[in-house]
Amino acid sequence: MGKLLLTSGQVQVLLSSAFVAAITFFLFLAGYTIQQRSIANLQAQLKPRIPIAPLSEQQPLSGPQHPSRLFNAEHNALISEHTAAQEPQQVIWQKLAHVQIVTEHHDVCSTIMFFGDLARLKSPARRVLLFPQAWAMEKQAAKHDLIDPYMDITRRLLRRAARRYNVELRPIPSSAGQEENPLASPWSLTDLERVMLLQTPGLVQDAEALDAVLAYTSPAPMTILQLDTDLGLASEELILATPAKETHRVLTTTGLQNFTAITSALRPAYLSSPYTIASIGGLHGAVHPNKTAFMETPYIRFNDPKLPGPEWEVDYARVVQARPKDKDADWLWTKMYGEFAGRRYDVCGLGLEVWRDG
């Protein structure tokens, strides 16, 4: 059999082709590896951030986990309430929810901002918004009927909440033309095991810590904050409710119309407030506050006694008069009000409303 003889030109072409093929293969392999890493990182970023349970014997949860400042034993007494637990707790996040109640058009945007923060921070719990049933009723206006000028904006914001932030819209039921007491509504959500109601307006800084409170606080019909006047926080700033038909029936049939009456009926458990919620109003009496600690507080509540609210634009002279006297507190106060205004526009597409005294 004759041997195949290659010329020097053919050998050079073969070597060049092999070299090009090898380089192409390695470039493809490098690109594929980078692509897979990018996809893995993207998936990790999109997954909910599930807080680690406070107990060392807690069974691992599915999904990514991140340590929560809430259960740092050196900074929060809440962990001591869990150390006596006998059995590990398996969390089903579809049975837990952050709930908001709105009855006035004025409060809708602040509520949507709250849910937007939870979505941005990838909270794994459900998000439920309760609103008057009348808002869901489409009515054909008669010739002389008064048209609510805010209804169109409210419905637009509700649709945005459902579409962008996966918020479940649930009208507050009514009977004989009378809507039930909104304060009792969280206990009617019997498809859920526990719900958290935070008062708005406010800004969520750390959703993981709030989710940890929601998931790992000891079960009780009602849990509220321990009253702390030094921090400017009231007990109703945070409410944990365990929905139950009997509890809801008691609250609705006995005519309990205010928070004090409900707490008297349910005899709530109490939750320590430090490192969970901070009050913007508490800055007025602060002296050299720790800026880092304040900015890392999971929830900043805007309950300022000197201004009507962060959604209102007031006279500059009144703003100057309302500012905290301490330099560091004033810096935090001004920053948080500015951040609220920016998020309000980004989430709701609304600027600040003009406040008119009287």
E-strand ranges in the chain read 50-51, 65-66, 96-101, 126-132, 167-172, 174-175, 178-179, 194-198, 202-204, 222-225, 238-241, 269-271, 277-279, 299-301, 312-313, 353-354
pLDDT grade, residue 154 (50/70/90)? very high
φ, ψ dihedrals at 279, nearest 5°: -105, 135
Q: What is the pLDDT of residue 235?
A: 86
Q: What does the block give as tokens for 62?
A: 């599915």
CA angle 164, 118, 156 (to 5 degrees): 35
User: Is the CA virtual torsion 215, 220, 222, 228 positive or negative?
Assistant: negative
Q: Check residues 179 and 347 and name the one with the higher pLDDT.
A: 347
pLDDT grade, residue 183 (50/70/90)? confident
Q: Kindly give, in sequence order, each residue whose CB lies less than 8 Å from that of residue 54, ignoring residues fewer than 6 positions away.
A: 70, 71, 78, 79, 82, 83, 212, 216
The DSSP bridge partners found for residue 277 are 299
pLDDT digits (tens, 9 = 90+) for 185-208: 999 999 999 999 999 999 999 999
- Look-up: residue for tokens 């649930």? 170
pLDDT digits (tens, 9 = 90+) for 1-15: 556 666 777 778 778
Q: Kindly give, in sequence order, each residue whose CB lies less than 8 Å from that of residue 256, ignoring residues fewer than 6 positions away.
A: 181, 183, 184, 262, 265
Q: What is the pLDDT of residue 65?
A: 35
| Three-state DSSP class for residue 37 | helix
Phi-psi region of 162 (alpha: psi -120 to 50; beta: other; left: phi over 0): alpha
CA gap 159, 189 in Å, rounded: 21
Q: What is the pLDDT of residue 55?
A: 44
Q: What does the block give as tokens for 151?
A: 């209804």
**Mean pLDDT, residues 274-285 taken together:** 86
Q: What does the block give as tokens for 176?
A: 């004989």
Give me the count of residues in the chain. Answer: 358
pLDDT grade, residue 87 (50/70/90)? very low
Residue 197 CA, distance from chain mean position: 10
Q: What is the pLDDT of residue 144?
A: 52
Q: Kindly give, in sequence order, each residue whose CB lies less than 8 Å from that of residue 316, ignoring residues fewer than 6 positions away.
A: none
Question: Alpha-carbon Rg of the chain, whole angstroms?
Answer: 27
Query: Please, what is the end-to-end C-alpha distance for the chain in angstroms?
Result: 110
**Domains (ranges, CATH) in the chain?**
50-138+147-277 (3.90.550.10)
C-alpha separations of 147 from 21, 150, 154, 171, 352 in Å: 73, 9, 13, 21, 23
CA gap 99, 298 in Å, rounded: 17
Q: What is the pLDDT of residue 91?
A: 84
pTM metric for this prediction: 0.76
Q: Does pLDDT of 155 surpass 80?
A: yes
**Mean pLDDT, residues 336-348 taken together:** 94
**203 closest CA partner among 346, 49, 50, 54:** 346
- What does the mean pLDDT of the chain come to? 81
